[in-house]
Structures are given as structure tokens and as C-alpha cells.
Structure 1
Amino acid sequence: MYDADACGAVSGFHALISSGTTPKLLDNEKNARYIGYGGMLMESFVAIMAMVAASVIEPGVYFAMNSPAAVVGSDVVTVAQTVSSWGFAITPEQLTAVAKDIGENTVLARAGGAPTLAVGIAQILHQVLPGENTMAFWYHFAILFEALFILTAVDAGTRAGRFMLQDLLGSFVPALKRTESWTANAIGTGGCVALWGYLLYQGVIDPLGGINTLWPLFGISNQMLAGIALMLASVVLIKMKRQRYVWVTMLPAVWLLICTVTAGLIKLFDANPAVGFLALAKKYSAAADAGQILAPAKTMDQMQHVIFNAYTNAGLTILFLFVVVSILFYAIKVGRAAWSTKERTDKEAPFQAMPPASQV
């Protein structure tokens, strides 16, 4: 819920893309406001649509779709019994009927958000335009819509990540900073894909379900990145001697930092293994040392996967917190220095027109 609301209002991923990739696609700077604000309005619409779609689904169906098989079971009878025991009555026939209506073999263990949104959209549009097989059509239409959205997001994110990785590695090997070099680009792209690909693989092999480990990290890091963007925007406003507007970026930055840093600390140090990464790792480590296998893990190898993934997530959370605190320190330092001067201290690269060959 936090991530759906926050991404619709302010998103670090969108701040990263709109400050790096999108400007290169504009032929006129005047279009930046229309595209930027229009894009976030559409993102807000998608967030609202996702919550509405999730709310119209039968709660029993919702939990059957979004619970890992290791927790609720792998057949409709077991899943229906488990979910019903939670207080959300559902029958095996209902689960089978939903799968048949959308043209799928099963709806069990379809965590991740995309199938849930697609089922919700299909149920809503089926009421507007009823007919035989229309629900299956709308379900697969929504899946196609989401797939295109995800593919473009991954493409843009990988490109921006490649630029940053090349810039970082270029501090040690200057040749890697050359974005016109195919070799440097291949190394940067390969490294970026390997990084997010590992996180994807980690989620796939995690017995607890990838959504349970990756989603908190995504929510924390995305909104932390938004806070970083707002901090940098605040410094730019101060450097431009437009301090009277700095509250516009500073207030949401403070709020985001409070929320995300608190969330990061909770995910690190909460004593409840269902919440804290370190508590989860300690719980499974103690059980593994005693020769016990805790559900939903079924083998000792899966126990080790849970432990390793929990420590990996804890390490990434510590890295995120370190980056945020470091940038906050330097933002305050640079902002105070710029505030004390009477002249503008911002610098802007001179305009460079695109060569005619690249405009074709």
C-alpha cells in the first residue's frame, strides 16, 4: 500500500529517469513540464487503478493468488482450506471458476501484483462490457499492458544504471567512461543486468517467496531515491538564489527521509523475524545449527537460501542508509555554503545542438 501510494505521488525511479534519459528525448525544453507532470499524473492514475482493482477482488481469491505455495499449498483444495482458516472464506470451486473465466489453468501463487491487477481490471471491465470470454480477453489485455510497461521500465532503468556504473568504474578505468565505446557500453550494461538479475534470481529461489524479500527493498530504495532527488533539488534552488522556493522540495524531502530511514531501521533491527531481516537470518541460522528445517523451507539448502538472502537484504539496506545519510550530510554542507554567498554558484553546461545526422 505504501509503495502504491508513494509511487503515485513521488518516485525516485522516475526522478532518475526524468533527469537522465528523458531530457535526451526532448527537442524543446518547454515540453519538459508537460511530459514530467503529465507522466506523474498518469502514474497516480495507475496507482489508484491498482488499488481499486485489488479492492474488487474477493479477499479469498486475493490471498490465494498472492500467497506462496509453500505457505498455502499447491492445489485448490489445500489452498481453499488454508485461506478460509485465515477468515477469508473461499471454496475450491470458486478458485477453479476464476481461473477458467480468465482463460488460465490456475490462479494459485501468482504473487507480484501484475496478475492481481489484471484479474481486477478484467472483473471490472467484464461488468461494463459483458459477454462470453470477454473476461479472458480483458485479463490478457491487462497482462499485455503491464508487460509493455515493465519492459520499458526495465529498459530505461538499465540504461540509466549503465550510465552510472560506467561513471563509477570510469573513476578507476577512464576508458569505461566513454559512452561512445561499444566495449565500455557492453561492460556497463552487462554489469547492470547482472546486478538486477541476481536480485531477481534471489527472489525466485527464496522459499519465502521473492515478493516478500524484494518488495520491502523496492519500496525503501525507490522512496529513498526520491528523497535524494529532492535534497539535490533543494541544493540547486539555494545555489540559484531562489531560497524562497526551497520549502517546495525540502518539506517532502524531510518527510520521505523520515519514512524511509525509519522503515530501513525497522527492516534491519525489528525483533520479529517476519519483519526484520537480521532477526529472520538469526532464526533460521539457529534452526539450521540445531538440524531443524523451518517451513516453508523443505531442505537444508533452502534454509541456507533464506539465511543468505536475509543477510543480503540487510546488507543492501545498510548500503541504502549509508548513501542517504552521506548525501544528506553533503547537501547540508553545500547548501549552507551556497546560502552564505551573495552570488549564484550554480553552473550549467552550454547548449549543444544535436548534429543533423543524429536527428534522422
Structure 2
Amino acid sequence: MNAIFLMLMGLGAMALGYFVYSKFICEKIFKVDPNFRTPAHEMQDGIDYVPTNKYILWGHHFTSVAGAAPIIGPAIAVIWGWVPAFLWVVFGTIFFAGVHDAGAIWASSRNKAKSIGALTGDIVGNRARSIFMIVIFLVLLMVNAVFAVVIAGQLINFPSATIPVWGAIVVALIIGQLIYRKNMGLLLVTIVGVIALYGMIYIGPMLPISLPEMVGPLSDNQSWIILLFVYAAIASLLPVWMLLQPRDYINGIQLFIGLGLLYGAVILASPDVVAPAFNTDVPEGTPSLIPLLFVTIACGAISGFHGLVSSGTTSKQIDKEPDVRFVGYFGAVGEGSLALAAIIAATAGFATLADWQAIYHSFGQGGVSAFIKGGANILQNGIGLDTVLSQTLLTVMVVLFAGTTMDTGLRLQRYIFQEWGSIYNINWMQKAAPATFLAVGSCLLLAFGAGGDGSGGLLIWPLFGTTNQLLAGLTLLVITVMLVKLGRPMWYTLGPLMFLLTMTTLGLLIQLKSFYEKGDWFLFTLDLIILVAAVLVILESSSALTKQIKANKAEAASQNT
């Protein structure tokens, strides 16, 4: 199989999904209304609630939800062969992720931009909300703690990425001022911003910067992680227009250009996929394809974290309700295209099957390193980019995706603490600064309490896939109940959620058995808690769904008599 055909089939199917399926879902099922007054206008405060140009908001949403996960997951999952990973990414993007993301924005926007956790209390019940909020907190804790480790590792391994990664923050601050204070045209600002960012990528290999000698007794990993959380804390408190929006927007443009270069190199280099279509000789210890494929690839097919972003920050910035389709569904398509690029880089970026097998010698191998190495080979062979420059470009892509997700993730974690403060009448917790302190403190406690070098977040990372997919299923449950209450067709969300909850529950049970056999009682206990929480929320949601269906039937019967 030539990688060009893989690329064209994948991108073509996703484009068809956006132009046809998303139009049907948004217009016929969600029934988006251009005259609906969104929370961004109704509750505008210039900090979190800000009506935003849909292209800028798409950039924020896309880069916030993408992160490093749509690279890591697919580039690990190809160990089962490229066909299963390809099919799940493509069909997952079209029928799962796009509907999930757009639906979460729509549902939140229709309910004063409440987070999906708070919305659960209104739609399902307070008991379900309490359990749901715990699952949400765990997902955010994992994402923030682990992505800090991912970013730190890449900055250590590729010091040529330091200048473009941190320079992007300065560029974003300037862009925010030019757009919102100087009212400069978006096109001009975009061109200047992209030139500045790619200029720094070019300069990066000439001026590589490492941190250890600057910070004293701390290790380089510890130093980067602490600096990242200090930055993320400040970013989470600033108005969204000042840093979050412009950083995500300009990074989104830059990253799409990077994807364009990679896909262009695929066309020019025309590499063959050396990985097997179905790998019948997987390394010893590799878990079964079903259900683990569907939790190994989360972001890139469907991810519960997207529901948090959709209902946490994006819904507070939607200018007009029809923008839900472009921002939410097309944001999912953007992430799907990144996951597809990861599959191609990790399967066609190596010269021979033996080279590929040398990377994928055990389950969990590949990931970011396979994407960077394979992608750099394709860029070098296709458009002649120097190896170091190619690796810097792809490393910056990974770090910027992870960084923008971490920015948004910490702000969302702050919202969780503020919502808990509101639910339990703890006044000081409802304030932004104390809530941010708690968010950062919990992440650092996990990072340094469970691992002295700051990598403690990796301890609970094995549970991220199942917990994240559980969250996606529960988000679809809330949307489904809301659709039933409105008398709308529910099968377009009920079908995906039933499939997802089945696979996730099976995945949790398989992991539970694995942790028991290994004697890993900490992860065994945590897995059991998440499994019990899943069952309880499913029961609560099923009860609410059944009651609402009966109520609808009773109302219809009364109207007919």
C-alpha cells in the first residue's frame, strides 16, 4: 500500500463527513439557531465570556483538544497493523468525535455555557453530577501532569525547539494586542505571526538552549515541569483574548501548515507503508486488539477531554450558534487529520519492515519518537528538509499541541474547583486565584509526590485511555438525554455512546485483571473506583433517559386524546 492512497482515502472521507454529515447533524438534530443569543453575548465579561470570530475560536478549540494524544495513541496502536488504526481514526472522526464535540458545545451553549459536569446535574441528577465531576477531575489531572512530562522530555531531547516553543508565547501576546486593541485585520496579523513562528523554527537549530546549568540543584526535567506549571497558572488567569485565543489560533495555523508540509512530502516522496495491514505477529505481552484499540486511540477518533474543552472554554466564546459546526465538528476533523498523519509517519516513515519492527518490539513503543523519526524521514525524502530541521519542526508541532492543551486543561481544572466551591458553598474556592493554586498544587503533588523527578503523572497514565473514553461516553449520554427532552432523534448519539461504553467497560475489566496479576494495588484500586463510578453514572443516566422517554410518550398520548 502506497501512503498516498492512505492519505487520500482518509482525508477524502473526513471531508465528506464535514460537508455532508455535520450539516445534517447540526441543522436537523441540534437545530442550531442563528438568532439564539449565546452565553458569550449574554454573559460577556471580557475574561472568559468573549464573543469570538469563528476562525480564531476554531484555532483555540482545535489546538486545545489536539494535544500530543492524537500523535501518541495512533503511533502506538499501529502495532496491531495500520488497517485497524486507520479505520477507527477515520470512522471515529466522522461518526463519533465530530458529533461529540459539536454536541457538547451546543448543549453547553444552550445552558449558559455550563461545563458538562455541571450540566449533568441539570439533565441527569445531582448524584450523577458528583460522580461525573470526579471522573472529569481525574482526566484533567492526568492530562496536565503527563503533558508537562511530554513537553519537558521533548525540550530536553531537542533543545533546538526551545526558542520556537517559548517564542510562540511572545508572538501570541503581541497578536492578541494587535487584534483586540489595535483592531488590525486578521489576515495581516496571521501572515506576520506565521512568518515569525517559522522564522524561530529556522533559528532554533542554530541556537539550541538547554536548561540545567541555569537552574541550580534541580534536574532539567524538574526545572522544565515547574516552569511549565508557573506559565500555565499565569495563562489560566489572563483574559482569554490576551493569550489563550491568539496562542491557540496562530499555533493552529502554524500546525496546519506543518501538516500540509508533511502531507505534501508524502505526495512527493510516495513512500510505501512497510508496516503490516494486520499484524499477526505482535510482540509477546501485547493486549488484544478489541477492546484496547478503542481506548489506545482516543484523541483522533473520540475523546472525553474534548467535551471538557467544548463545554468549558469554547462554549463561552461562541459568537453565533451555527459556528458550532465549524468550530466543533471541523475541529474534530483537524484532529483526525493529525492522527492520520501520525499513522502514516509511523508506518511509512521507515525503510523496511525490519526497521519498523525494531521500533515496535513491545507494546507501548513508538508514540512520539516514531512520529518524529518517521515524519522526519518523509520530509527529508519528499521536500529535502535537513534532518535536524525536520525533527525540530515536528518536535515543535508536538510540544505546541501539548502546550496549548495544558493551557486549556489547567483553566478547566480551575473551573472544576470553582464549581465545587459553588456546589458546596465554599466562597474562597469560587475565586480564580485560589482555584488556580489548587489546580496547580494537585498536579505538582501528583508529579513530584508520586515521582521525585516530576514524572509521577506517568504512574496513573495507564488509566487515561479508559477514563478518557468513559468520559466521552458519559458526555454523549448527557447530550442524548437532552435530545430526548427536546423530542429530537437520539440514535445519532445513542449508537456511538453504546459502542463506546461497551468497549471502555471491557477495557477497564481487562486492565483490572492485569493490575491484579501484577500486584499493582494502587492502580487496581483506582481502576475499580473508576469502574464503579462508570456503572453508577450509567445507571443514573439510563434511569433519566427512560423516565424522559416515558414522559414524552405520555405527553404525546395526552395531546392525541
Q: Structure 2 length normalisation: TM-score?
A: 0.42
In 2, distance between residues paired with 1:51 and 1:210?
A: 28
Q: 1:260 aligns with which of 494, 504, 509?
A: 504
Shift of 1:62: 6.3
Q: Larger C-alpha radius of gyration, 1 or 2?
A: 1
Q: Deviations over 1:244-274 (max 9, x none)?
A: x211111111111111111111111x2xxxx
- In 1: Cα distance, 2:380 partner to 2:305 partner: 33
The 2-side partners of 1:211 and 1:168 are apart by 23
Tell me, what secondary structure is at the counterpart of 2:320? coil
Confirm or deny that 1:330 pairs with 2:540.
yes
How far did residue 176 of structure 1 move? Answer: 4.1
In 1, the alpha carbon distance for the partners of 2:372 and 2:457 equals 17
Q: Which residue of 2 aligns with 1:227?
A: 473
Q: State the Cα deviation string for residues 18-77 of structure 1 (Å, max 9, x = none).
A: 1221111222222111111111001111111112211234677667778xxxxxxxxxxx
In 1: Cα distance, 2:465 partner to 2:479 partner: 21
The answer to whether structure 1 residue 147 and structure 2 residue 403 are counterparts is no
Report the residue type matching 1:142 in the other structure: L
2:372 is equivalent to residue 118 of structure 1: yes
* 1: CA distance, partners of 2:460 / 2:342: 19
Alpha-carbon spacing, 1:200–1:220, altered in 2? closer, same or farther (3 Å): farther
SS in 2 for 1:341: helix
Question: Considering only aligned residues, what root-mean-square deviation do their CA atoms show, in Å?
Answer: 3.2
- In structure 2, which of residues 311, 323, 326 is the aligned counterpart of residue 19 of structure 1? 311
Unaligned runs of 5+ in 1: 67-82, 87-109, 179-183, 271-275, 282-309, 346-360
The aligned residue for residue 156 of structure 1 is 408
Paired with 2:428 and 2:450, the residues of 1 have a C-alpha distance of 31
**Which of 230, 236, 250 is the matching residue for 2:482?**
236
1:9 matched to 2:301:
yes
Q: Would you say the 8 A contact 2:373–2:391 is kept in 1?
A: yes
Q: Partner letter of residue 547 of structure 2?
A: A
* In 2, Cα distance between equivalents of 1:23 and 1:186: 22
Q: How does 1:123-272 map to 2 (within 5 A)?
A: 123-130=377-384, 134-176=386-428, 178=430, 184-201=431-448, 213-242=459-488, 245-268=489-512, 270=513
Alpha-carbon spacing, 1:128–1:327, altered in 2? closer, same or farther (3 Å): same
Task: Work out which structure has the larger RCO, using CA pairs closer than 8 Å and 6 or more positions apart in sequence.
Answer: 2
**Matching residue's letter, 1:119:** K
Query: C-alpha separation between the residues in 1 aligned to 2:434 and 2:300?
Result: 33
Matched, 1:279 2:517: yes
Q: 1:190 deviation in Å? A: 2.6
1:41 aligns with 2:357: no
Aligned equivalents of 1:149, 1:197: Cα separation in 2? 21
Instruction: From the superposition, tell whether residues 195 and 263 of structure 1 become closer, same or farther in structure 2 (CA, over 3 Å).
Output: farther
Q: Which residue of 1 aligns with 2:323?
A: 31
Alignment of 1:58-97 (within 5 A): none
Percent of residue pairs identical: 29
Q: 1:194 to 1:116 in 2, by over 3 A?
A: farther
User: Does the CA contact (< 8 Å) of 2:485 and 2:552 recur in 1?
Assistant: no
Kept in 2: contact 1:50–1:117 (CA 8 A) = yes
- CA offsets 1:63-120 (integer angstroms, 9 cap, x no match): 7778xxxxxxxxxxxxxxxx7xx9xxxxxxxxxxxxxxxxxxxxxxx97833331112
Change (3 A) 1:327 1:319: same
| C-alpha distance in structure 2 between counterparts of 1:324 and 1:339, whole Å | 22
2:211: which partner in 1? none
Aligned CA distance change for structure 1 residues 17 and 52 (closer, same or farther; 3 Å) = same
Q: Which moved more, 1:160-169 or 1:42-51?
A: 160-169
Amino acid at match of 1:232: V
Local SS of the residue matching 2:490: helix
Q: Give the structure 2 partner of residue 78 of structure 1.
A: none
1:232–1:331: 8 Å Cα contact kept in structure 2? yes
Partner amino acid, structure 1, of 2:325: R
Query: Which amino acid in the other structure matches residue 267 of structure 1?
Result: Q
Instruction: Give 1:154 shift.
Output: 1.0
TM-score of the pair, normalised by structure 1: 0.64
Distance 1:149 1:223 in 2: 20
Mapped contact 1:13–1:222 kept (Cα < 8 A)? yes
SS at match of 2:534: helix
Pick closer, same or farther for the CA change 1:140–1:315 going to 2, 3 Å: same
Structure 1 residues 52-61 or 317-326, which shifts more?
52-61
Whether the 8 Å CA contact 2:414–2:432 is kept in 1: the answer is yes
Kindly provide the amino acid, as one letter, of the partner of residue 114 in structure 1. V
What letter is aligned with 1:123?
N
Change over 3 Å in CA distance of 1:176–1:62 after alignment to 2 = farther
Question: Where does structure 2 lack aligned partners over 5 or more consecutive residues?
Answer: 1-76, 78-292, 556-561
Q: Which amino acid aligns with 1:218?
A: F
Equivalent residue letter for 1:312 = F
